[in-house]
Amino acid sequence: MLIAGNWKLNCNINEAIDLSSSILNNLNSKVLRSEVALFPPTIYIETVYNVIKNSNIALGAQDCSVNISGAYTGDVSAPMLNDFGCKFSIVGHSERRNGKNESNKDVYLKAKNLMDFKMIPIICVGENAEDRERGNALDVIKKQLEESIPKSNNEFIIAYEPIWAIGSGKIPTLDSINEMFNMIRQWLTNNSMKNNIKILYGGSVNKGNAKELFSCKDLGGLLIGGVSLNPTEFSEICIIAS
């Protein structure tokens, strides 16, 4: 199980230190069976690295460039993230697919770059409310899988995050999460991918619904946004996961 905290565009430098230190203090003495990873804003990756470097908390980035180097002002590439101790990077989050017009092809290239530099992409997929209401959710996700995931033997993680569940306080029924996970698992098998690839759920996860989510059969972990900024609640979820 992986419990991932996506801080998005939040925190100043002191808050980044406080948040990572609090999580570290809460979890340090615990024997955790789940892996915990923090995803601060890129500029604070080194700051957080310095807090958690001697612990078993891992570090990840929220995004990476489709390019490796060159004239791409403002971009941060996979090898640069690797230099700063990132084990993971999220790619294809809906806030980038929709807000920054990122295509499946962009997500594919980012995931491939991360794999090439021995990092683990967390490839996000998710349907919008209209797709869900029209009964198209499975088809929409299947297309995102087909076009965003490099067919490779390298390690990667899929995060299923229905767009309508992100930050809304709503989560899908367990039946619909299980149905989606079954389809994703089948797709992985049909494409001869490893059977230990984790599938995470993300969208309005909190301490209250985490227990219920952990009963999903194929759940490989959680991608947590808002609640990852609350060190007590986030740490409690990490402990429940173990």
Give residues in contact with ligand PGA (CB under 6 A): 6, 161, 166-167, 202-205, 223-227
Q: Nearest approach, Cβ of 41 to ligand PGA (angstroms)? A: 14
Q: Cβ distance 60 to 40 under 8 Å?
A: no
Active site residue 93: yes
Active site residue 161: yes
Q: Where are the beta strands (DSSP E) in the chain?
A: 2-6, 35-39, 57-61, 88-91, 120-125, 157-160, 199-202, 221-224
Of 63 and 191, nearer to ligand PGA (C-beta) is 63
- Exactly one of 35, 95, 161, 233 is catalytic; which is it? 161
Q: Nearest approach, Cβ of 7 to ligand PGA (angstroms)? A: 10
Report d(CA 114, CA 174) in Å as an integer. Answer: 31
- Exactly one of 93, 102, 127, 233 is catalytic; which is it? 93
Which among 110, 105, 44 is positioned nearest to 77, based on CA atoms?
A: 110
At residue 93, φ and ψ (nearest 5 deg) are: -60, 145
Q: Cβ distance 123 to 64 under 8 Å?
A: no
Of 150 and 226, nearer to ligand PGA (C-beta) is 226
Q: Nearest approach, Cβ of 72 to ligand PGA (angstroms)? A: 25
Of 68 and 174, nearer to ligand PGA (C-beta) is 174
Of 149 and 205, nearer to ligand PGA (C-beta) is 205
Q: Nearest approach, Cβ of 213 to ligand PGA (angstroms)? A: 12
At residue 3, φ and ψ (nearest 5 deg) are: -110, 115
Of 3 and 78, nearer to ligand PGA (C-beta) is 3
Residue 119, C-beta contacts closer than 8 angstroms, at least 6 positions apart: 78, 81, 82, 86, 87, 88, 89
Q: Nearest approach, Cβ of 209 to ligand PGA (angstroms)? A: 10
At residue 123, φ and ψ (nearest 5 deg) are: -90, 115
Shortest Cβ contact with ligand PGA: which residue? 225
DSSP 12: -
Q: Which residues are catalytic?
A: 93, 161
